[in-house]
Every structure is written in structure tokens, then in C-alpha cells.
Structure 1
Amino acid sequence: GNRRFHAGTDIAAPLGTPVVAAADGEVVTADFLGGYGLTVMVRHEEGTQESRYAHLSEIFVQPGEWVQKGTVIGRVGSTGNSTGPHLHFEWRHATPQGWVAVDAGSHLKYSLGQLVQALQVAQNTSFSLRGF
């Protein structure tokens, strides 16, 4: 079959779930990027680190904008090469040879926590709306 290296982590979530910045930084890309679909890339740590959020359904930020950790930057989608709604998350480090994907570690843990929180809020909201 068609097998390719997959540098990030895919996190399944319902379409429209809010996606937040994993760390403070400057938005360097907020656009459609081929197989990544709608993608936001944020540069961190004086330009030595970068986070990537792909397959979004909506983007709420623009290049040049400064975002803080926890800022909603978009919503989960299924754009680009995607088989269903999910967030593709990458953490990259600048090297003399270019950007290299690295273990997202605590940044991934934070992003997962924020997605879970958003899902809980969405469930509680839809539950309370059903009561009317």
C-alpha cells in the first residue's frame, strides 16, 4: 500500500471542537497546505520551536498575530488528506538542516487536556439544551 512517514500525532475529535495553541508564539502560517488541509503553524522560543495544527475546519488567527497558550486558533476538521474529523498535531525543532519533528511531550499533553475540556463543555451544553 501507500505508506508514508507520519511526523505528528492524530487526535480524533468531533468536527468543530475548539483547537488551542499549545504554547505562546507568533502565527507564521494560517492557510490551506495541501495534504495538511487548513493548517496553523505557530513559532515559539525565539523561532527555534514550531507547533503545527492541521486538518482544521476553521482558522481564527492570521500570520503575524501573537497567540498565548490556550488561545483558540481554530476548530477540528477533516480538510486535506483526512479520513475523518481529527487534529493532526506536530512539534518541530529548528536545526541547521531544517525543521525536524520531535516528541511533543508536555505540549501534546496540554493540547489533549484542552480538547477533552472542550468536549466536556460541548457535551454539557448540548445536554442542557436538550432539556428545553
Structure 2
Amino acid sequence: MGTAGRPDALTPALPRAALQAAVGTARISRMTAVTLRTETRVRGPRVLALFAALGVLTFALVWWQTTREPKRFALVDPGRLYRCGSVSPGQLERLQRAHGIGRVISMLDPNAPESVLERAAAQRLGLIWENVPLRGNGESTPEA
């Protein structure tokens, strides 16, 4: 028992009959409430920390999966042709190492921020970067 007849946070909760025998019926309900509240306070931060850790782990796994390879990356012709959405410089470097890519054909606006970064990464890696912009309305280029 702690000070003023209250159980310590580390003292396990006693069965109701043992509490009645030890302190009498008048104080039993107050002591039980204190014991439960103390146990909840000790467990609460642990549960919160567990959920926070699970949230951080889930976020990290999702981020790692979605940034590792570009969106919609797929094989078209083995060893010759691959397709995907726009790529970050890090993704382009990983693709070049993993698949031996030598040329990038971009169908985005050449002045779009994604295209500028992609072109700079391709030049840094020694890749050929070509641009065939599509208007985005379903029509092909005027040259076609």
C-alpha cells in the first residue's frame, strides 16, 4: 500500500474479497477505482506508443513500395522495351542499373517540372532522352 491507504501503481490489484477484509466495506469502491485508474494510466502511454510505432512503420512501408519503382512500370518486350509513368531521378537510376535502359522516350510536356528533372537525370546517366509530347486529349501528335 502507498501513502494514505492507496495502492501503489506497481501493486497488483487485489480481489474484491481480500480488499474488503483488509480495509472494510466503506472504502472498497474508492480504492478499486483508484487501482483501475492507476493501471489505465500506466498502460495508456504504452498503447499509444504501440499505435504510433505501427503507424510510422506502415507509412514507411507504403512510401518505400510506391517510390521504389515508377507507377505502372511494366515489361513490353523483354530486354528491349519497358513502359511507365514519369520517373524521379532515383527511380531512373535504379531502372538503368536493373534493366540496362539506354533511352528514355517522354510523352509529357518537355517544360513540365517532371520532364526537366527526368531529362537532367538521363543526361547525367548518359542516357538518350527523347520527347514526343502528347496533348492529353487522346489525339496523336500533328506529325503522325
Task: Mark yes or no: TM-score above 0.5.
Answer: no
TM-score (norm 2): 0.27
Question: TM-score by structure 1 length?
Answer: 0.29
Task: Report 1 or 2 for greater relative contact order, CA contacts < 8 Å, sequence distance ≥ 6.
Answer: 1
| Bigger proportion of residues as helix | 2
